[in-house]
Amino acid sequence: MNNKQHQTQQLAERLDKAAMTATATAQLSEDFPEIDLQQAYKIQQASIARRLSRKERLVGVKMGFTSRAKMVQMGVDDLIWGQLTDSMQLVEGGMLEMQHYVHPRIEPEIAFRLKTSLKGKVSLTEAMAAVDSLAPALEIIDSRYANFKFSLTDVVADNSSSSAFVLGPWCSPTEDISNQAMILNINGRAKEVGSSSAILGNPYRSLVEAARLAGEAGLCLEAGWTVLAGAATAAQAIPANSHIHLQTSGLGDVHLYTSNPKQGEQG
- Which residues of this protein are in contact with ligand OOG, per CB under 6 A? 62, 64-66, 70, 74, 107, 139, 141, 143, 155, 160-161, 230-231
Nearest distance in Å: CB 190, Mg ion: 19
Longest dimension (CA), the chain: 54
> If binding is defined by CB under 5 A, does position 92 make contact with Mg ion?
no
Residue type for 78, please?
D
Nearest distance in Å: CB 67, ligand OOG: 7
Nearest distance in Å: CB 51, ligand OOG: 18
Task: Indicate the residue among 92 and 139 with the shorter CB distance to ligand OOG.
Answer: 139
Name which of 225, 229, 241, 221 is nearest 204 in CA terms.
229
Task: Indicate the residue among 46 and 106 with the shorter CB distance to ligand OOG.
Answer: 106
Taking CB under 5 A as the criterion, the residue among 16, 92, 107, 192 binding Mg ion is 107
Task: Indicate the residue among 131 and 210 with the shorter CB distance to ligand OOG.
Answer: 210
Q: Which stretch binds Mg ion (CB under 5 A): 83-91, 99-107, 127-135, 186-194?
A: 99-107
Task: Indicate the residue among 139 and 142 with the shorter CB distance to Mg ion.
Answer: 139
Task: Indicate the residue among 49 and 237 with the shorter CB distance to ligand OOG.
Answer: 237
> If binding is defined by CB under 5 A, does position 192 make contact with Mg ion?
no
65: partner contacted, choices Mg ion, ligand OOG, none (Cβ within 5-8 A by kind): ligand OOG
160: partner contacted, choices Mg ion, ligand OOG, none (Cβ within 5-8 A by kind): ligand OOG
How does 107-125 read in b/e, with b if 16+ C-beta sit within 10 Å? Answer: bbbbbbbbeeebeeebeee
Mark 224-253 with x for binding to Mg ion (rule: CB under 5 A) and - for no binding: -------x----------------------
